[in-house]
Structure 1
């Protein structure tokens, strides 16, 4: 009897241990993320090389390219991983890309142009090092001594970006003439982090594009034959590396231009700090730059993480700027009112809560649409002859919004300040008015600085 009980308990114990061991593994499997790697192999003339060997030794991956010269891998990982990509093709010099990063939920795009192995020295692999990120080195851009003067006297409109830019490849000692959009796509992932939120990446795409655009018009290196260096002295450029997410951010914002006094300006940026301050730990402290002429990269992440749009991030950091369209671009259509209900969250909800408070409802504007907010919405709808469903849609917005302008104050002003990403103090002053003017210019609205129904819709819908 004792023996039977002993074996029975041992069996139950084994089963329990098995469940304990298996449960976390199953959960981990369910939550596993994926990172993608796509390598395009070409010869020096840009023609695809098929049957080239592509491998990532640290992950035990190897395959060959297809007829289009493309090899693709998918890796299960919840963390970013630093990898080395090795490429070999008969008759060509071996090629290595070091210190590239695989990022979960993104695709690392590697371009591997192979040269012919014609000499003994070509038996050694060509090594491409991904440079240290500005966010790890805190290296500032090198300002031109005349930039302050140029920012004051520069006049005229700059409506069309250049078709090419001349880049000095410092480590190679040569000048490359690069398609301008291709250049920006191969700068952004080396200045911003591909895993960051889309709105931060879009703000970075605009800043990178504007800085380079400015440099093609106003020489930083007169007589040298190039517009920028490929290092942190200007913007880190690597023609071999890009990401699906950063490419999309460049495409999404390509029809827009960032202008000051109706002209392209030097949109500098530096690492900065992860906070909502324009000065804490940023370029003004470390490098003596003027606040309002630069953006914090970490700060853009903080603002995006807290619901700010790329437009509001740019207008938060750069003073007196306007976001318009480039020549041949299209003005974006007015966005739809967002539908808010129990379970919604973010700045749209916080702004709606401020508007409810402006109508006398006692609420905490915390950006979380819970039972208290739903009850206030139902009560407001009933009082205004609307269907009391607790959902904020177009008809509820029409009753909820209030016209505000320079000189206004209170919770309705806090609502628009929340949506614009400016300081939320309830006082409609010059800074808030400028942000409103920028928003109106973006959607080709009447630029009067007054927040009426259409401007409210643009602010909520952006």
Structure 2
């Protein structure tokens, strides 16, 4: 329905405090649906410091329309209040519509986090956008309430007019608007609510977000500042996401972020808006802008990602899983982050799905995508004041301006460990390290060895000089590294008795992987020569998996052999992690036996797992189930931290 201006509407104004009739049917709207500016008496901040405004009631009426009554309109000295209203058609059951506005108030944010355990239906955008509109839920996220979709510019004007006094110094208002803009954009960027199954972008509950008041007046000087800084927001250096600019009033409520009343004091003392923000949030914040103004678009690529998929969505998925792996060590990090969905990525996805009780198929559909994204936002604290950051330049090799040291747990440490692991293939004097994001004694010793080998100060710290040298050495040898988990192409001709070469050697390696799991398949000598032992092993493999047992490696045998070998490698890695976790727990709980970290789920591993299940009061089951893995991960995480 189109909105049309309503002319010749009568306006009646009453002062709320004493019900004094100020104007009665004195002003009428013009053909644009507007009235002239109406002067009203109020009190200055000096006269009434606690509430430097007076409240008025406005009635708007016209024949053929319902009478509209708006109560509690706050009028400040020397500020124009703009009231935009829709006058509905007359209905007998709605002859009078009364709306009571809330008085101006400040945020009283607590540290509650609105997480719905069902999770998983909408989560992380790839770039910062300025939305054309935003959907606001009126009330707490888990309570029933109206959803309003409004232009984003109007949303900011409404929030600013609701949260702060328009009589404050200009720089104080500007600092608050930047903070309000950034908080809202953070909710949009992380899809914080939609990732949990809600159908809105933000709430108007100040316990969770910031105030938005339906049908409120907008103050002209506040609106002017919002329009001036629209498209600008706060960002921390090297971080991608809009800064979660937590704030509170600083009088009634306290918080670790910005104090709204404090901004007024700082502005009075001569601070500009950026200096006010840096006073509260630190010198690393900056003001940036985005020229991308568009409707909010879901981040899910639209089609499932699976084995063989390539592109930036896969690279983002890999980066998210790597970050999550630091908090959930059962997930093996994926390196290199190359945008290719290979078996290592599939294995990490399957582990994630098992960890979070999703369908374990190794395919990243909509539910898995948004659950991964939501957990990434949570572990990196992107929607918190103390964000660890969505690091925009991490995989470029650029130093992230943070010295790494023993005791750290971070994605920077994880990436550095990958570089060292690759370098070690060419420089064996560097000890082996685990790519787990934890800067322990092993990583410390590897750093010392690297620093000694390349003439750096051997202090075990990774500052810019050490980081840059590690990356330089890595890039110089990276093109010589063997492929990781890349599926081998069929050589084009069948492999059989008498054949030799790299393809035969690859088949022999795959046979030996299967031989560890399937006793009917004998291991073979890896020499690249297709002899009788290799033929016999292939025949046994073919018989076991219902193929023609001719001892010849054709297309079907080749594809099935390497497919199963890749899956067994992934399972071996998962079992090795399980054994490592059981050994950590065994150090603290004598009733749990330690086991060799072999990657083979043998009787000793089952016995140790049964000990753990008994200790924790879990159902006794052969192998692992989702509940056992969840408790095991939590216990390991607690002990290792």
Q: Please give the secondary structure, in 2, of the residue aligned with 1:87.
A: strand
Q: Please give the secondary structure, in 2, of the residue aligned with 1:308.
A: coil
2:266 aligned to which of 303, 311, 319: 303
- The offset of 1:248, in angstroms, is 1.1
1:224 aligned to which of 188, 198, 203: 198
Who is 2:509 aligned against? none
CA deviations on 1:329-386 (whole Å, 9 max, x unpaired) are: 9xxxxxxxxxxxxxxxxxxxxxxxxxxxxxxxxxxxxxxxxxxxxxxxxxxxxxxxxx
Q: Distance in 1 between matches of 2:34 and 2:75?
A: 17
1:247 aligned to which of 223, 227, 243: 223
2:249 aligned to which of 253, 271, 289: 271
Who is 1:166 aligned against? 135
- The offset of 1:77, in angstroms, is 4.5
What are the residue-to-residue correspondences of 1:403-418 with 2, within 5 Å? Answer: none
2:173 aligned to which of 198, 201, 210: 201
Q: Please give the secondary structure, in 2, of the residue aligned with 1:73.
A: coil
Q: Please give the secondary structure, in 2, of the residue aligned with 1:115.
A: coil
Who is 1:110 aligned against? 83
2:93 aligned to which of 105, 118, 121: 121
- The offset of 1:132, in angstroms, is 4.0
- The offset of 1:247, in angstroms, is 0.3
What are the residue-to-residue correspondences of 1:221-370 with 2, within 5 Å? Answer: 222-233=196-207, 234-240=209-215, 241-260=217-236, 261-273=239-251, 283-284=254-255, 291=256, 294-319=257-282, 320-327=284-291
Q: Distance in 2 between matches of 1:108 and 1:282?
A: 27
CA deviations on 1:264-315 (whole Å, 9 max, x unpaired) are: 1321211104xxxxxxx7524xxxxxx3xx2111111111111111111111
TM-score, with length taken from structure 1? 0.52
C-alpha spacing 1:45/1:169, structure 2 compared with 1 (3 Å): farther
Contact 1:199 1:304 in 2 (8 A): yes
- The offset of 1:173, in angstroms, is 3.2
C-alpha spacing 1:172/1:45, structure 2 compared with 1 (3 Å): farther
CA deviations on 1:54-83 (whole Å, 9 max, x unpaired) are: 121235123110111111302354432211
Q: Please give the secondary structure, in 2, of the residue aligned with 1:112.
A: coil
Greater relative contact order (Cα < 8 A, sep 6+): 1
1:70 aligned to which of 34, 38, 53: 34
Q: Please give the secondary structure, in 2, of the residue aligned with 1:186.
A: helix
Q: Distance in 2 between matches of 1:271 and 1:159?
A: 28
C-alpha spacing 1:239/1:47, structure 2 compared with 1 (3 Å): farther
2:62 aligned to which of 69, 89, 108: 89
C-alpha spacing 1:259/1:298, structure 2 compared with 1 (3 Å): same
1:139 has 2:101 as partner: no
Q: Distance in 2 between matches of 1:165 and 1:46?
A: 20
Q: Distance in 2 between matches of 1:60 and 1:156?
A: 51
Rg larger for: 2
Who is 2:6 aligned against? 49
2:153 aligned to which of 167, 171, 181: 181
Q: Please give the secondary structure, in 1, of the residue aligned with 2:40.
A: strand
Answer with 72-81 or 107-116: which moved more.
72-81
- The offset of 1:90, in angstroms, is 1.5
Q: Distance in 2 between matches of 1:126 and 1:206?
A: 35
- The offset of 1:158, in angstroms, is 4.2
Q: Distance in 2 between matches of 1:235 and 1:264?
A: 16
Q: Which runs of 5+ in 1 are unaligned?
A: 1-43, 148-153, 274-280, 285-290, 330-429, 431-462
Contact 2:166 2:173 in 1 (8 A): yes
Q: Please give the secondary structure, in 1, of the residue aligned with 2:65.
A: coil
How many residue pairs get aligned? The number is 262
Higher strand share: 1
CA root-mean-square deviation: 2.9
What are the residue-to-residue correspondences of 1:2-13 with 2, within 5 Å? Answer: none
CA deviations on 1:90-128 (whole Å, 9 max, x unpaired) are: 22121122111111111000011111122x3202x2222
Contact 1:159 1:326 in 2 (8 A): yes
Who is 1:420 aligned against? none
C-alpha spacing 1:116/1:310, structure 2 compared with 1 (3 Å): same
Q: Which runs of 5+ in 2 are unaligned?
A: 16-20, 45-52, 117-122, 294-400, 402-641
